[in-house]
Amino acid sequence: MATYEQVTADGVAGNVDGQNVYKLTFGVNDCSDIPQLQAWDDFNLDSVAGESLAGTEHNDNESLVAAQHTTNASSGAAWVPANASAGGGEVVPGHGRANRLRGLESYLLLADPGDSPPAAGDERKFQLAFGVVDDSVVGSSGHMPVLAVKTFYAGAPPTVVLAYNRGTDASPLWEPMITSPKGTPMAIGVKNTIHATGPLSTTTAPDPVTKPGSGEAWAAEQWMQTAL
pLDDT tens-place string over residues 160-197: 999 999 999 999 999 999 888 887 776 554 567 888 99
What is the rounded distance in angstroms from the CA atom of residue 191 to the CA atom of residue 201?
17
Residues 18 and 220: beta-carbon distance below 8 Å: no
| Overall average pLDDT of the 60-76 stretch | 98
pLDDT for position 164: 97
Question: Which letter, b or e, does each residue of 18-28 get, where b requires 16 or more Cβ atoms within 10 Å of its Cβ?
Answer: bbbbbbbbbee
Average pLDDT, the chain: 94
First to last CA, the chain: 6
Given a cut of 80, whether residue 46 has pLDDT beyond it is yes
What is the rounded distance in angstroms from the CA atom of residue 6 to the CA atom of residue 202?
9
Task: Give the residue from 130, 178, 177, 122 showing the smallest Cα distance to 151.
Answer: 122
Residue 91 banded pLDDT, cuts 50, 70, 90: very high
Residue 129 banded pLDDT, cuts 50, 70, 90: very high
pLDDT for position 192: 73
pLDDT for position 162: 96
pLDDT for position 2: 85
| Overall average pLDDT of the 50-66 stretch | 98
Q: Where are the alpha helices (DSSP H) in 16-100?
A: 51-54
Task: Give the residue from 60, 215, 63, 50 showing the smallest Cα distance to 134.
Answer: 215
What is the rounded distance in angstroms from the CA atom of residue 151 to the CA atom of residue 133?
32
Residues 8 and 70: beta-carbon distance below 8 Å: no
